[in-house]
Structure 1
């Protein structure tokens, strides 16, 4: 038995090494560079301590990026989970061609985020505007991606459209774990669909709801590809997310050390939000 356990431990060594080399080590290097003034080129740099971290809290561009990212993440997380749960409930019902519709709804998840973003960029710029002009709909006649007030809505639409697919599959998996006998008993007691949902369905899929909420929030906070394909952070800096700011400033703006400090703060923020979400939602599961 001991030899078998030892073999299992040795089997984990390659995975641990790969994780350390490609994830842990770069993270440690990023923290190291965040304490310097390195611009990303050459070997000349000096230690500046926590000066970069202090400057982050005084930078309006950083503040605007965090504000946009939080606003975007909250709206997308709520929209994805509400819509995917409604779709899952519909697909779980006894309807014709149910498996076909499941495949259709999952299709966006297998497409490249960048490709989807560029396609929607073309639609917003050329297709929807022509439709709006022909139909006389003013709101569709102009490209919303060119508006500082509405560009973020276009990014939300694309992120929600593609994000719904994965969450729908998880909710479907959760719905299939509920015994049909519970619904039969509720029908005998005269419970309506609304009472059935809140008393049976939602409490029993609570673990799946927790997973979907945490994953949707984490993915939304890390939004990058949609920004690059749709707006590239514009107009101006209206749709610049934290990830996009770190990339453009660090790799193209000569702020490698400064944006390394931003990425450290960014990591801490995402980790704290995910932990708080898990604790709150798991406590709600226990209460149910």
Structure 2
């Protein structure tokens, strides 16, 4: 028993120390500095909750929050709709089903930065050339150069790359449904739409909850695709909170101020996730 306990401690303590040093301690340090005027270098003084108040008065920060919420909500809804449809299609009795599943999962394996640069080329060169040659005005201009429409390009990229993981979870959920339920529904004369709402969706509700919460959390923290695709532009039209915190904290001498912004954003993400869990779990079949 003592040997087992010793082995357990030898495995757990190093992992705990690494996690504390590289995650917990920096987080605590950031919270501490959020109450100061620290610029990331030199001396500092306590300023209380001044940084937190200034975040709510900062138009750029509020604009970043607005874009981030708009992007995250839109991408979360679209990616889950597409993923459910793909999962249902892949779960059907069709040829090359396993091959198609592997193909749909490939985007998730690719690096977000690499995919973002590829999509940037598509949006800036490939699609405009096709639009001009076919006389399609909507495709003739670079969508990423428009302050009103650049966020749509970010959504398209994010949905394309993220749908694979969500689809995988929905496939796992569909695998838990007994086919006898569908056979009974067929005998009763139920249509495809009725079977989806009465059988499929209620029984995959736990997987829907997981996908909604995880997708929303990930999209609220969007950084890689934005820095590679638009760099937050045009202007600050696609500047997310994560990008604003990075730029202000590490490039703009606003370490303490952006630390306060990061704390606020952490609280916001946790609150949204808890609300999602509370609301969506009520719809699950018990």
TM-score between both structures, scaled by the size of structure 2? 0.96
Structure 2 gap ranges (5+): none
Equivalent in the alignment of 1:271: 270
**Residues 1:40 and 2:45 aligned together:** no
Equivalent in the alignment of 1:25: 25
Within a 5 Å distance, the mapping from 1:144-223 to structure 2 comes to 144-223=143-222
Aligned partners of 2:195, 2:257: CA distance in 1, in Å?
A: 53
Deviation at 1:11, TM superposition (A): 3.9
Residues 221 and 96 from structure 1, CA distance in 2 versus in 1: closer, same or farther, beyond 3 angstroms?
same
Deviation at 1:97, TM superposition (A): 0.7
3-state secondary structure, aligned to 1:191? coil
Aligned partners of 2:167, 2:18: CA distance in 1, in Å?
A: 32
Deviation at 1:125, TM superposition (A): 0.7
Equivalent in the alignment of 1:64: 63
Aligned partners of 1:4, 1:174: CA distance in 2, in Å?
A: 37
How many residue pairs were aligned? 286
Answer with 210-219 or 17-26: which moved more: 17-26
The answer to whether the 8 A contact 2:127-2:140 is kept is yes
Within a 5 Å distance, the mapping from 1:249-268 to structure 2 comes to 249-268=248-267
3-state secondary structure, aligned to 1:285? coil
Deviation at 1:3, TM superposition (A): 7.2
TM-score between both structures, scaled by the size of structure 1? 0.95
The answer to whether the 8 A contact 2:202-2:283 is kept is no
Deviation at 1:19, TM superposition (A): 2.2
Structure 1 gap ranges (5+): none
In angstroms, what is the RMSD of aligned CA positions? 1.5
Equivalent in the alignment of 2:99: 100
Deviation at 1:7, TM superposition (A): 5.4
Equivalent in the alignment of 1:133: 132
Aligned partners of 1:273, 1:13: CA distance in 2, in Å?
A: 32
Q: Deviations over 1:116-172 (max 9, x none)?
A: 111111111111000000000001101010000000000000001001010000000
Q: Deviations over 1:175-226 (max 9, x none)?
A: 0111111111111121111111111111111110000000110011000011
